[in-house]
Amino acid sequence: MAKFLLRRLANYVLLVFVATSFAYVLAATSLDARTYFESQTPRPDPAAVEMILTERNLNDNDPLAERYVRWLGGVVTGDLGLTVQGTSVNDDVQRRIGVTLRLIVLGAVIGSVSGVAIGAYAAVKQYKIFDRVSTVTAFVLLSIPTVVLAVILQIGAVMINDLLGMRLLLYSGEYSAGLQADWWGTLVDRLQHLILPTLSLALGQLAAYMRYQRNMMLDVLDADFVRTAMAKGLTRRVAMRRHALRTALIPVVTYFAFTFGVLMAGAIFTETIFAWHGMGELLVHSIAGNDINSVVAVAGFSAVCVLLAALASDVAYAWLDPRVRVS
C-alpha cells in the first residue's frame, strides 16, 4: 500500500515537472514582456530595456533553452523568478496562495461531501419528490457557468440584504478594509465575505457529485450483498449506509481528481468577480500584463493542486477498496 502510494507520488512529481515546463515554453513564446516597457511614457532607452529584460530572464532575444534552464535553476532552489516589474514572484504567490487555497479547499470539501450525501439519499428515494427536486436542481446548476452563477449569487445577496435591512452577505473582497473589531468580529466579517464565493464554487461541484453518486448508488442498491446485509438483520437504512454507500463511494472517489481541474478554472472567475486577491486573479492580471514568470507560477500551482487532489483520490481509493490494498 505504501509502495503503491509512493510510486504514484513519484509519477505525479514527474507530471508536475512536465506540465510546468510546457507552461513555461508556451508562456515564454507567446507572451511578450517587451510591451510593458514600450507602453511606458517616456519610452525607456531600448538598450536599457534589453538589459532589464535579460536581467529578469524575460528577454525574447535570448535563446529559449537558456531562459528555460535559468528559470528551472531558480525553481529548483525555490525561486520562481521575477515579474515584469522586477518584484519577486515568490512574494506575490506567498500573499495570494492562502486566499485561493481557502476558497478551493472549502469549495471542494463542501461540494463533494454534500453532493455525495444528497446524491446517495436521492438514489435511495428514487423517483420520490426529493429525488426529482434534487435532479432538476442539479441539472440547472450544471448548465450555469460559474461566472453567471457568481453574478446571480451577487444579485441574490443584494436582494437578501435589502430584505433584511442589514449587510449580511458581503460580496466584495476578502474582508472589510479598515475594520476595527476584536477577533470574533474579524471572524464574522471574514465569514460574511467567504460565504458567496465558496458557494459559487461549491454549487457546481455539488451538482456534479450529486448526479454521479446517485448513479453509482443506484447500481448497488439492488446488489445481492445489500440484500445479504438485510437478511443478516440490518435495517434497510443501516444496510444502505454500511454496505451500499460504502461500496458506491469507490468510483466517486476517483472522480475527485477530475473535478478538481474544473474547480480551479472556476476559481479564476470567482476571484475576479468577488475581488479576491488570489492566484486566479494573478493569472488574469499576469496574462494581460505579459508577465511570463507569474503565469508559469500559477500554472505550476494548478498542476500541484490537481495532482495533490489525485493523490488524495488514490489514498481514499486504497482505503476504501481492499482489492487495491491487498493485491
Partner 1 sequence: MTTTETGITAAADTVGADGPVLEVTDLHVTFPGEPDDVRAVRGVSYQLRKGEVLGIVGESGSGKSVTSLAVMGLLPEGAEVTGSVRLHGEELLGRSDEQLAKVRGKRIAMVFQDPLQALTPVYTVGDQIAEAVLIHSRRTKAQAWARAVELLKLVGIPNAEQRAKAFPHEFSGGMRQRVMIAMAIANDPDVIICDEPTTALDVTIQAQVLEVLKAAQRETGAAIVMITHDLGVIAGFVDRVLVMYAGRPVETGAVDDIYYRGRMPYTMGLLGSVPRLDLGERAPLVPIEGNPPSLTRLPPGCPFQPRCPLAIDACGEREPELVAVPGSDHQAACIRAGEIEANNWGVTDIYPVPEIPEDTIAQVPRADRQVVLDIEGLIKHHPLTKGVVFRRRVGTVYAVDGIDLEIREGETLGLVGESGCGKTTTLMEILELRRPARGRVVVLGRSTDRIGAGERMRVRRDLSVVFQDPMASLDPRMTAYDIIAEPLLAHNHPKDRLRSRVMELLDLVGLSAEYAGRYPQEFSGGQRQRIGIARALALEPKLVVLDEPVSALDVSIQAGIINLLEDLKARLRLSYLFVAHDLSVVRHIADRVAVMYLGKIVEQGEVDRVYGAPAHPYTQALLSAIPIPDPEKERGRSRILLSGDLPSPANPPSGCRFRTRCPKFLTLSEDERTACIDTEPPLRGIGDTDHGAACHYAEEREVV
**Residue numbers at the binding site for partner 1 (CB under 8 A):** 222-237, 243, 246-247, 250, 320-323, 326
What are the distances in angstroms from CA 250 to CA 165, 254, 284, 319?
46, 7, 36, 9
**182 or 224, CB closer to partner 1?**
224
**76 or 326, CB closer to partner 1?**
326
CA–chain centroid gap for 228, Å, is 40
CB of 222 to partner 1, least distance (A): 7
Three-state DSSP at 82 gives strand
CB of 155 to partner 1, least distance (A): 42
Cβ neighbors of 83 (< 8 A, separation 6 or more) are: 56, 89, 92, 286, 291, 293, 294
**214 or 243, CB closer to partner 1?**
243
CB of 179 to partner 1, least distance (A): 49
Q: How many Cβ atoms from other residues are within 10 Å of residue 43's Cβ? A: 10
Judge whether 135 and 122 are in contact, CB under 8 Å.
Answer: yes
CB of 238 to partner 1, least distance (A): 8
**95 or 246, CB closer to partner 1?**
246
Three cell numbers written together for 274: 468577488
CB of 125 to partner 1, least distance (A): 10
**172 or 228, CB closer to partner 1?**
228
Judge whether 309 and 317 are in contact, CB under 8 Å.
Answer: no
